[in-house]
Amino acid sequence: MMAGYLLARAGVEVVVLEKHPDFNRDFRGDTIHPSTLELMHELRLLDEFLELPHQEARELHAVINGHVVPFADFTHLPTRCQFIALMPQWDFLNFLAGHAKQFPAFALHMQHEVVDLIFENDRVAGVRVKAPEGFLDFLADLVIGADGRHADGDASVDLEKAFAGWHEPIAVVLAATPASARSYLDLRDLPPLPRWHSGRHVLVGDAAHAMTPNMGQGAAQALLDVAALRDELAAKPRAEAFRVYERSRKRPAERIVRQSRAIGRIAQTANPLAARLRDTLARHTPAALMAYQMGRVLR
Ligand SMILES: Cc1cc2nc3c(=O)[nH]c(=O)nc-3n(C[C@H](O)[C@H](O)[C@H](O)COP(=O)(O)OP(=O)(O)OC[C@H]3O[C@@H](n4cnc5c(N)ncnc54)[C@H](O)[C@@H]3O)c2cc1C
């Protein structure tokens, strides 16, 4: 959506295809990081955006072995917003879609599922789409793959069994949640892809670098991708723009994928020795230092 907004704003004709009828999907996080808020400011959308219902977290705290410790502090960041905004992702997407629709070059087609790529001389030249009225072909000079991660989870998982023996309130929450209200998401990341682009086709966001949500950074990284892609496409021919975009974004995004996985591994370790070492380190690292550093990492 952000890629569509940015391109349409620059006068490029753009069609965004979304397979669902709305953006009100499974929970996919609700943190909007200072780097994203900076982009919104650059687009002159920040003030209006912050009028939407949200909460602002200038510091995050974690509970380690029953102790509440400062975890991340955003108040020292050299950004306009020194906080994380908490807002459902669908509010963010609806806000962007509303603004994008003001550009004559922008079109959003809901319930249009991309089912195949169309090739011309071995190069992607468009997409085939399943729409309510049947199958449609969209040809384009540029195809951005922003279809997220493909891990729908296993709905047959027995959650009561999987979480047996966990501390309260896990069992109480599970018992109070009817099957119809449960959603199943595999929290997996994507191994590094060899390339993010080919011919007229380029990947952004989770499609390029899906990560575990331990750092809540997936959406922020996706938005940094599209801002970088926009800058390169505005300044260079397509092939060079894709190359420079990939060079500038692949390494930082994949570093966050690794950091996120490492944080998950440490936080969820089942090894008692490793858990004790983790807790001791957390207790002895000066709180302010840890919070300062995590604030920079989670920016
Ligand atoms: C449990 C969880 C918590 C998270 N918490 C956070 C958080 O707090 N902060 C944060 O920044 N990130 C968080 N993330 C990550 C974040 O949700 C993703 O990184 C981000 O949404 C990626 O954006 P995207 O546009 O690449 O993909 P998506 O947001 O997945 O968007 C892809 C879109 O493409 C559509 N689509 C898919 N296939 C097709 C198709 N074939 N045809 C047409 N449309 C299609 C989908 O319906 C979807 O609307 C979390 C993720 C999970 C799983």
User: Each residue of 42-68: pLDDT tens digit?
Assistant: 999 999 999 999 999 998 887 766 677
Amino acid at 237: P
Given a cut of 80, whether residue 297 has pLDDT beyond it is: no
pLDDT digits (tens, 9 = 90+) for 122-172: 889 999 999 999 999 999 999 999 998 875 556 667 888 888 887 788 889
Alpha-carbon distance of 264 to 276, in angstroms, equals 16
**Cα(66) to centroid(ligand 1), Å:** 32
**Cα(3) to centroid(ligand 1), Å:** 14
3-class DSSP state for residue 182? coil
Alpha-carbon distance of 166 to 183, in angstroms, equals 19
**Cα(206) to centroid(ligand 1), Å:** 7
Residues near ligand 1 (Cβ within 6 A): 17-20, 27-31, 113-114, 146-148, 185, 205-207, 213, 216-220, 222
Q: pTM for the complete prediction?
A: 0.87
CB 215 within 8 A of CB 259: yes
Given a cut of 70, whether residue 195 has pLDDT beyond it is: yes
**Cα(149) to centroid(ligand 1), Å:** 7
Give residue 140's pLDDT.
96
Beta bridge partners of 202: 144, 197
H helix count then E strand count, the chain:
11, 13
Alpha-helical regions (H) of the chain: 2-9, 34-42, 46-49, 89-100, 159-162, 170-176, 206-209, 218-235, 238-267, 272-284, 287-297
Lowest mean per-residue pLDDT among 92-106, 174-188, 192-206: 174-188
Residue 42 sits at the vertex; the CA angle it makes with 198 and 26, to the nearest 5 degrees, is 65
**Cα(99) to centroid(ligand 1), Å:** 20
CB 149 within 8 A of CB 210: yes
Give residue 182's pLDDT.
80
Best residue among 147, 188, 257 to mutate for probing ligand 1, ranked by most atoms within 8 Å of CB: 147
Furthest-apart CA atoms within the chain: distance in Å? 62
How much of the chain exceeds pLDDT 90, in percent?
A: 59
> What are the residues whose beta carbons fall under 8 Å from the beta carbon of 283, sequence distance 6 or more?
64, 67, 69
